[in-house]
Structure 1
Amino acid sequence: FADMPFVTNATPFFLMRTTRKKWLLGQGVYIVFATFVYMAFVMLSTSLISMRKAFAGNMWSSTAVALGYSKAGEVLAVPSSVKAMTMSTPYRCAAEVFLLMLCYALIMVFMMLLFNLKFGQIGGVMAAFGFSVYGFLLNPQTIRAVLKTPEYEAYKINVFVGWASPLNHATFYMHNFGLDLLPRLWQSYLICIVLICILFAASLRAAGNYNFKFTGTGGR
């Protein structure tokens, strides 16, 4: 992520041979592929690390079921959602988690691209940091603690957070599998695609108004 979004001293020379629109489109394509490779590396690393302890069948193991129904997974920091287990298979769940996290990462890096073009590299870093902090702070437990919401009102907060938090859109079990009012998987994918398109369109506009300043080797 530190290599994004690619506005360097060499950029004006690239723009002498192409248009800003084509240059930014190339950056967008690179971002998509680079983020995909990064997420694939994370998934492969996780699989390799846990391979010796893993249950390879495309069905939930008795250990996963026990952790989910006994709530012992929360104590052991190994969350196991009963809802996710009853509505999906392990391999489908892994594929959905990968796609959701890919969408989340793409939103963040395209936001970095936009803010870098408008406010410089520090602006891009701060935007990505703020986006991540927003996702972590907007969770049901924090809101209930701040508002001192009673237990019977917790469902409403869960639904609100499920729709408003980008991190919850990237969380598999925080979706509607036909049982509640949380967003469905296709709705989360659609929201992510729309946000990515909006950020990219705003980046195109920002790139058209971007002014390069030549102040020696340290300038832009």
Structure 2
Amino acid sequence: MFSLRRIWKYTRIDFKNWERSPRIVITFILAAILCLMLSNRAIDFADKYGTYTQLFEVFIWTFGDSSSIMLSSLLLMLLLGDIPFVTPATPYQLVRSSRIEWVLGQLLYVFISSAIYISYLLVITCVLSAHISYIGNKWSKTSALLGYSGVGRKIALPTSVKALEMSSPYACVLMIFVLMLLYAFFISAIMFLFNLYRNKYWGVVSVIVVNMYGLFLSPGIFKKIFHLSGALEYRANVAAGWLSPLNQATYYMHNFGTDYLPSITISIVLFVVIIGLLYFLICKRVRKYEFSFIQAGV
């Protein structure tokens, strides 16, 4: 039987590495800069027209886009790039418990770290737009202008009419948060697996390849490369929505009852199944993994 106490102990040990770690500080500083750069268009638009926004709308517009999700996930890899975390104390830990418990501790650490990171992105975007925001669960006039007038497309803000009509800001931000969290967990699991089977270099390469694959299958790029239009464009859009993990994590690339894109529920189930399979392979690999221990100060 697994010991939840030991699993949580390994997670706490990983979090202790955050203390005085320049890598952690740099990650969150860069994340704040990323939010500032990506949210600038939305805030400038509201300021220009003298309109207000719902508190979470800037986050929704910013991270409802596949490119923004990709950039944030690549930055997250700076936070999680060292998994599996091996310290001079790891040999002692593995003697006192099973390797599977150690992996589960790593898994829990990755999940909590990803949740903290995405929560940080949410808080930063809310702070940046606080001077023009209200907290009511109702879409703003700014959203209506961006969605129904087509201005959002011109300034590259993914304000979806489907989102405005089929959900509320609170429900929308919750779904985007969950999708981003699952995508981050999926990406980190791929990196973890390649780190174990090959090395950390291939772990980073695997993350970049998966993100580039998702970016290639984004509707805009796919359309430009193959010069699609009409029915072919729609079919390609649906295919990209199903085949790309990045599109599965993008809110507006889902079915709200009007097309053949995957529903949010289906995307969540697919992510959970694939992540479960990846961690099954990780647990299988770690049983035979030969750890390389580096003494402190070397």
The verdict on a shared fold, with TM-score over 0.5 as the criterion, is yes
Q: Secondary structure at the match of 2:129?
A: helix
For 1:117 and 1:87, locate their aligned partners in 2 and report how far apart those are by CA, in whole Å: 43
For 2:211 and 2:287, locate their aligned partners in 1 and report how far apart those are by CA, in whole Å: 28
For 2:195 and 2:130, locate their aligned partners in 1 and report how far apart those are by CA, in whole Å: 40
1:9 Cα offset (Å): 4.9
Write out per-residue CA displacement over residues 82-117 of structure 1, whole angstroms, 9 at most, x where no aligned residue: 111000011110111111100110001111111111
Q: Does 1:5 align with 2:83?
A: yes
Equivalent position of 2:220 in the other structure:
141
Equivalent position of 1:191 in the other structure:
270
Query: Number of aligned pairs?
Result: 217
User: In the alignment, residue 187 of structure 2 is paired with which amino acid?
Assistant: M
Q: CA 1:212–1:63 in structure 2 vs 1: closer, same or farther (change >3 Å)?
A: closer
Equivalent position of 1:105 in the other structure:
184
The correspondence for 1:79, drawn from 141, 158, 164, is 158
1:76 Cα offset (Å): 2.1
Q: Does 1:116 align with 2:195?
A: yes
Equivalent position of 2:13 in the other structure:
none
Unaligned stretches of 5+ residues in structure 1: none
Bigger mean CA offset, 84-93 vs 66-75: 66-75
> Equivalences for 1:150-161 in 2 at 5 Å?
150-161=229-240
For 2:121 and 2:184, locate their aligned partners in 1 and report how far apart those are by CA, in whole Å: 12
Q: Secondary structure at the match of 1:16?
A: helix
Q: Secondary structure at the match of 2:210?
A: helix
> Equivalences for 1:14-163 in 2 at 5 Å?
14-163=93-242
1:8 Cα offset (Å): 2.5
For 1:213 and 1:43, locate their aligned partners in 2 and report how far apart those are by CA, in whole Å: 38
Q: CA 1:55–1:151 in structure 2 vs 1: closer, same or farther (change >3 Å)?
A: farther
1:56 Cα offset (Å): 2.7
Unaligned stretches of 5+ residues in structure 2: 1-76
1:144 Cα offset (Å): 2.1
1:36 Cα offset (Å): 0.9
For 1:126 and 1:132, locate their aligned partners in 2 and report how far apart those are by CA, in whole Å: 10
For 2:133 and 2:237, locate their aligned partners in 1 and report how far apart those are by CA, in whole Å: 31
For 1:98 and 1:169, locate their aligned partners in 2 and report how far apart those are by CA, in whole Å: 13
For 1:91 and 1:212, locate their aligned partners in 2 and report how far apart those are by CA, in whole Å: 45
User: In the alignment, residue 176 of structure 1 is paired with which amino acid?
Assistant: N
Q: CA 1:62–1:120 in structure 2 vs 1: closer, same or farther (change >3 Å)?
A: same
Identity of aligned residues (%): 36
Q: Secondary structure at the match of 2:252?
A: coil
1:207 Cα offset (Å): 0.6
How high is the TM-score relative to the length of structure 2? 0.69
Equivalent position of 2:246 in the other structure:
167
